Amino acid sequence: AIPILFGPGVIATLVVLNNRSVDLLEKGILYGAVLVSTIAVFFTLRYAVTINRFLGETGTRILTRLMGLVVGAIAAQFLVEGVKGLWLAAA
């Protein structure tokens, strides 16, 4: 889980979003989102055993597939943004 939580994708996303934020309000929203995400990850990892028991095997499989879909959607969005950036830079 560590490469997904704190890997190059997260770092690149934070760098891009930090560069796109122009005023103090946008930066505050970004840092607030990072704080909320950090707290959510902490509690998720802290109570992972309890959550796993609650979900059961079927729930865990469903959640795993949903998270795979979310990660795939994020990857597709990165690809679209990269191609769009290259297209606009070439024009």
Q: What is the pLDDT of residues 1-53, one digit of tens each?
A: 566 677 887 888 888 888 888 899 999 999 999 999 999 999 999 999 999 99
The CA distance from 20 to 81, in Å, is 14
**What is the structure's pLDDT at 14?**
87
Residues 13 and 38 in one domain: yes
The CA distance from 18 to 31, in Å, is 9
Residues 38 and 68 in one domain: no
Domain total for the chain?
A: 2
- pLDDT at position 54 over 90: yes
The structure's pTM equals 0.65
Q: Which domain holds residue 36?
A: 1-46
The CA distance from 91 to 84, in Å, is 11
The CA distance from 75 to 89, in Å, is 21
Is 64 inside a domain boundary? Answer: yes
Residues 41 and 62 in one domain: no
Last residue of a domain, one of 46, 64, 80: 46
Which tokens in the block code for residue 56?
């059961």
- pLDDT at position 89 over 80: yes
The answer to whether residues 88 and 80 touch, using CB atoms and an 8 Å cutoff, is no
Is 13 inside a domain boundary? Answer: yes
Is 51 inside a domain boundary? Answer: no
The CA distance from 15 to 12, in Å, is 5
Is 17 inside a domain boundary? Answer: yes
Residues 39 and 63 in one domain: no
